[in-house]
Amino acid sequence: QQQVKQSPQSLIVQKGGISIINCAYENTAFDYFPWYQQFPGKGPALLIAIRPDVSEKKEGRFTISFNKSAKQFSLHIMDSQPGDSATYFCAAETSGSRLTFGEGTQLTVNP
Amino acid sequence: DTGVSQDPRHKITKRGQNVTFRCDPISEHNRLYWYRQTLGQGPEFLTYFQNEAQLEKSRLLSDRFSAERPKGSFSTLEIQRTEQGDSAMYLCASSFTGNTEAFFGQGTRLTVV
């Protein structure tokens, strides 16, 4: 059962543009929502994370927006750069348990 | 500490052979996780340990798979009688109880021929 759905599967943006990736979840017991960035041949690296008691979290060019009632959250990458080209995964976790990942979004930022 | 370390980085094996992977977590982390990732997919949970206790196993973890963390430090994941469908990236992650931030290793890429 896929508990975290991610879209789009792939995304192409121009340098300086905004990249937006969306995720939806089903399990209301989830209480931690991280985003991971993965480059080819590497393990996922934590980018930014949010808990459901806040609606938005910003770290540098990266922002998570969280909508608890809709059970959706999204990642916004402002001023996208070619170095941001990677695969991005949303995930969800119940405290004390393990991560459930989305299917991933392959982001390409054209120079 | 340089992070989560996995060994080997790559493994090619013939179908039917047994393989074993090792994971060394961040030293102060008491939780250790194994995930499997196939091409174009997100990591899928296999199992996790808190200290030396194996607390949860996914139904993906067939009888051919076994994981251990005997002293609550490093962990091994063994796959017996490998099948071509076992070809994947095997990822290890660690975290500390009470802090849900999980750090991943570089993974072990397994190819079964």
Answer whether A103 touches B (CB < 8 Å): yes
| pLDDT (average), residues B58-74 | 91
| pLDDT (average), residues A104-111 | 97
Task: With beta carbons under 8 A apart, name residues in chain B contacting A101.
Answer: 42-44
Q: Do A101 and B101 touch (CB under 8 A)?
A: no
The model's pLDDT over A37-65, given as tens digits with 9 standing for 90+, comes to 999 989 999 999 999 999 999 999 999 99
- The tokens for B5 are 């370390």
* Closest Cα in chain B to A49: B101
Q: Do A101 and B100 touch (CB under 8 A)?
A: no
Rounded Cα distance, A28 and A52, in Å: 10
Q: Are B26 and B103 spatial neighbours (Cβ–Cβ below 8 Å)?
A: yes
The model's pLDDT over B70-101, given as tens digits with 9 standing for 90+, comes to 988 999 999 999 999 999 999 999 998 876 78
In A41-85, DSSP assigns E strands to 45-50, 56-59, 62-67, 72-77
The model's pLDDT over A14-40, given as tens digits with 9 standing for 90+, comes to 999 999 999 999 999 999 999 999 999
- The tokens for A4 are 């975290």
